[in-house]
Homo-oligomer: A and B are copies of this chain.
Amino acid sequence: MHINDIIDNIYPLPEKSKALLKENIYEVNYPKAHVLFKVNRIESKMYFIEKGMVRAYANPGDEEITFWFGKEGDAVVSMKNYVQNKKGYETIELLESCVMRELNTEHLRKLFDDDIHIANWGRKFAEQELIKVEERLIFRQCRTAMERYKELMATDPELLQRVQLGHIASYLGMTQVSLSRIRSGLK
């Protein structure tokens, strides 16, 4: 997916604004297992995934909670870094080797103050993500483990192909053993 489409999918930007935004964006390539954001660090970076897959997880050391997957077309940020310039609660690592575009978020902050279209682009990005997480929080609570797995099979079968089951289990809020039990029961 091309960077122009990724940007416009979030919120269509006029050419001038897009050019401004792209001034500080450059391509990066990282191998599988590379870490983009490390927990408890402040990074002034944002990435757009042109090719590949990443995951965000919290609580490393203790137990990893995978709470987000990113793939082609997604923007990758560590929320606390991005929003509050504070230490992130998550680690974000590559699940596949990736082609991405990197953007400096300090630069982005300046653009938010100068360009109303980019400000609204940033607004839309946060708003869309917000809805996704809120729906996920609700959904998590009112469905059983099996329902959650079935729903994922129905809505995002690709994820099951590309991501190992241990991460899927965590993402669905269950243990790997539980997921395995559910999968075998469905056959």
Binding site for B on A (CB under 8 A): 58-59, 62-63, 65, 67, 79-80, 82-84, 89, 112-116, 119-120, 122-123, 126-131, 133-138, 140-142, 170, 173
Contacts and interface: CB of A to CB of B under 8 A. Distances in A.
20 contacts: A59-B138, A59-B142, A65-B142, A79-B127, A80-B131, A82-B127, A83-B130, A83-B131, A84-B131, A89-B138, A113-B120, A115-B116, A116-B116, A122-B123, A123-B123, A126-B126, A126-B127, A133-B133, A137-B137, A140-B173
A82 to B, nearest CB: 8
Contacts of A136: 137
Per CB-CB distance, the 9 closest pairs between chain A and chain B, nearest first, are A126-B126, A123-B123, A119-B119, A116-B116, A83-B127, A130-B130, A126-B127, A58-B138, A133-B133
A65 B59 CA distance: 26
Contacts of A116: 113-116, 119
B128 A62 contact: no
Contact of A79 (B82, B113, B114, B131): B131
Contact of A173 (B58, B83, B141): B141
**Which of A58, A79, A130 is packed against the most chain B CB atoms within 10 Å?**
A130
B173 A130 contact: no
A78 to B, nearest CB: 11
B112 A120 contact: yes
> Most chain-B Cβ atoms within 10 A of its Cβ — which of A67, A113, A134, A142?
A134
Nearest to A137: B137
A126 B119 contact: no
